[in-house]
Amino acid sequence: MDLFKLINNKKTTIVDVRTPHEFSENRVESSINIPLNVIPEKIKELKKMQPIVMCCAAGIRSGQAVEFLKSNGFGEVYNGGSWNDVLNMLEN
């Protein structure tokens, strides 16, 4: 899997799992905010969004989200690390 290509694929959903406050301060413009604690409630919605690249502040919460979703049958979900890492991989 090539994370750069995945992030730049129009079919990929970028999900930022930080808090709404963190998300409002800085974010990847094309990302959506689903805080980590809400992920379990959004499984059905997220299934329709694959492939998904998760991000957060440092990659820890997004990694937890990826592990949770993979344990619930998701195949195309990846940890992009921090939102800034994802932003730096986006082609402008």
- Is residue 7 situated within a structural domain? no
Res. 87 pLDDT band, cuts 50 70 90: very high
The number of domains in the chain is 1
Q: What is the pLDDT of residues 29-79, one digit of tens each?
A: 999 999 999 999 999 999 999 999 999 999 999 999 999 999 999 999 999
What is the span of the domain harbouring residue 74?
A: 16-87
CATH of the domain at 23: 3.40.250.10
Indicate whether 8 belongs to any domain.
no
- 55 within domain boundaries: yes
Look up the pTM and report it: 0.95
Split at pLDDT 50, 70, 90, the class of 1 is confident
User: What is the Cα–Cα distance from 92 to 77, expressed in whole angstroms?
Assistant: 23
Confidence of residue 91 (pLDDT cuts 50, 70, 90): confident
Q: How far does the chain reach from its first CA to its final CA, in angstroms?
A: 21
